[in-house]
Amino acid sequence: MNLADLNTVAQAMVVPGKGILAADESSGTIAKRFDVIGVTSTEESRRDYREMLFRASDAMTKYISGVILYDETIWQNARDGTPLVKLIEQAGAIPGIKVDEGTQPLPGCPGELVTVGLDKLAERLKKYYAQGARFAKWRAVIDINAAGGIPSMTAIGVNAHALGRYAALCQAAQIVPIVEPEVLMDGDHDIERCFDVTSRVLNVTFQELRKQRVALEGMILKPNMAIAGKKSTKKASVEEVAEKTVRMLKACVPAAVPGIAFLSGGQSDEEATAHLDAMNRIGNLPWKLTFSYGRALQSAPQKAWSGKAENVVAGQRALTHRAQMNSLATKGEWKADLEKKAA
């Protein structure tokens, strides 16, 4: 492991003004997104859509530091034969790869899940590196309820152990791991419950990372924000989400970690941007705070594109706008009236 090189990549992934485009939806997930816009999900349509994103030159060169790819995508070529990985590299962004293989029910813990995919991961990482990937992502799914009991310490521990093992394997393969322990925001829990559970998850995750000798300088954290569940009747303000999230991270995340790239987790486009902006306005942070958004970057371009070749430019324009808004948020310079002007 060359830690200096890993750190160089990690720092480039979280450089102020840029963030990560999460374009790693599984074939099943992107099919659901395509259903919404009336597009049939095929290998060709998925390729065309992602090629549209990666050829959005303003977005990719100015605001995107890296792209998380799905296994299918990293091997695909554009219509003109150019590997999609090369399009990303030519834009000055870093190709990455989602390496977990989804979730399975966790035995003995009803309603809870464990992420799988460690078998033969070392072999897969070598192939991904040869294809151009310089970072990877593994998502642990942590469910939460308002009453307590979920998540269990078993679910937290098992998923944290897998994250640690994955991260160690990545660094051995000279690939920067994005460590993603996601506490879901689907329930009726309030922000305090999310704060408590996410703090516990982060603490256990970093214990595992240390046990498995992961170099914190050569990784990126991708957490959820401290935020109330979608079904909660107690919604928190933008300022409260920012304050509680920063307080939580300062208590749990070592300063050695180069950066934190948030997931959007089902927030609306503008909510995800506003929360990131408010956190960066707090200032005096030991790590860079940026975005690693999927839906919050792609929802608008998907609708604008709608599977039609004549809409490619409109789709790219929509991506560029959302990427620019989040770029401003990484520097604490976003304003809501910029959204209104674009609308």
d(C-alpha 66, C-alpha 133), whole Å: 10
Judge whether residue 296 has pLDDT over 70: yes
Name the average pLDDT for the chain: 96
Centre a 10 Å sphere on the Cβ of residue 233 and count the other Cβ atoms it contains. 8
Candidate list 137, 222, 244, 288, residue with the active-site label: 222
pTM exceeding the 0.75 threshold for the entire prediction: yes
pLDDT tens for 18-77 read 999 999 999 999 999 999 999 999 999 999 999 999 999 999 999 999 999 999 999 999
d(C-alpha 252, C-alpha 205), whole Å: 10
Copy the structure tokens of residue 147. Answer: 């009453």
Tell me which residue of 309, 288, 235, 245 sits closest to 55, measured CA to CA.
309
The arithmetic mean of pLDDT across residues 260-284, rounded, is: 96
Between 339 and 292, residue with greater pLDDT = 292
Active site residue 180: yes
Copy the structure tokens of residue 217. Answer: 């300088």
Residue 2: Cβ-neighbour burial (10 angstroms; 0-12, 13-18, 19+): exposed
Copy the structure tokens of residue 160. Answer: 């944290």
Tell me which residue of 337, 262, 266, 340 sits closest to 299, measured CA to CA.
266
Torsion of CA 72, 75, 78, 82, to 10 degrees: 170
The arithmetic mean of pLDDT across residues 217-229, rounded, is: 97
pLDDT tens for 162-201 read 999 999 999 999 999 999 999 999 989 999 999 999 999 9
pLDDT tens for 317-334 read 999 999 999 999 999 999
Domains of the chain are: 3-342 (3.20.20.70)
pLDDT of residue 147: 81
Active site residue 222: yes
Please tell me what DSSP assigns to residue 115: E
**pLDDT level of residue 206 (50, 70, 90 thresholds):** very high
d(C-alpha 99, C-alpha 118), whole Å: 9
d(C-alpha 10, C-alpha 14), whole Å: 7
The DSSP bridge pattern shows strands 103-105 and 113-115 to be antiparallel
Judge whether residue 342 has pLDDT over 60: no
